[in-house]
Amino acid sequence: MIDLRFDVKDLKRVLGPLSGMPKLVDDGLRSAIRRTAATMRTDVNRQIRLHSFLKAGDISPAISKPLFASSAGSFEGVVRISGKPLAMDKFRLVPRRVTARKRMRSSRWGLAGYQIGPGEPVRQATERGGRSKGFVVRLGGKLYLMRRSGKKMQRMYGYSAQYFAVFDAVRRAVENNARQNFEKRMAHELSYRLGKLR
């Protein structure tokens, strides 16, 4: 969850010349925070893509529409990130080729792994003896990371979108961008409302 909270009292102190128009300040604040939260949702998606190999379509369903709450002293916008574990083949497969070979014992298949993002280590699910739990197959022209469950094959699942949302680099970038956007929006909203009074 990424929370954008502003204290109305502090803002009113900053906006001293407008202290006689509390409704104008409150309306401007609400509008600015709503617009900022909408862009924050897009920014969360962008920042997660920068730090992972996920695509926008894999991240978007996990990001909620902005939620808003207000009280006598503050107004806040919240973007929640919550989703199901994603298939490991949504990340970068290592190697990016089929490892499951016909007419070859599975104990001789190459190790299959995945890398979740740039600069991240290659991870492999291994069993005792160093054998790979996973293997890469091609189905319908796409590569999938699978594992055996009895006689059936199942896709391997792991990380979800919210795992990346708690990275310091992601949170800091989103929060800094949100504050900059809010300041611009607030200036615009107040200017617009003052213009209507003339």
SS (HEC) of 72-139: CCEEEEEECECCCCCEHHHCEEECCCCCCCCCCCHHHCCCCEEECCCCCCCEECECHHHCECEEEEEE
pTM: predicted TM-score of the whole model, two decimal places: 0.78
Q: What is the mean pLDDT of the chain?
A: 81
Q: Taking 60 as the threshold, does the pLDDT of residue 7 lie above it?
A: no
**CA 134, CA 148: separation in Å to the nearest integer?**
8
Run of H or E residues at 147:
strand 142-149
- Residues 87-144 have pLDDT tens digits of 999 999 988 888 877 766 666 677 888 999 998 998 887 777 667 778 888 888 899 9
- Residues 157-187 have pLDDT tens digits of 989 998 998 888 998 999 889 888 888 888 8
Residue 85: cis peptide before it, omega within 30 degrees of 0: no
- Of residues 191 and 45, the one with the higher pLDDT is 45
Q: Minimal CA–CA distance to 112: which of 150, 152, 153, 151?
A: 153
Average pLDDT over residues 80-93: 91
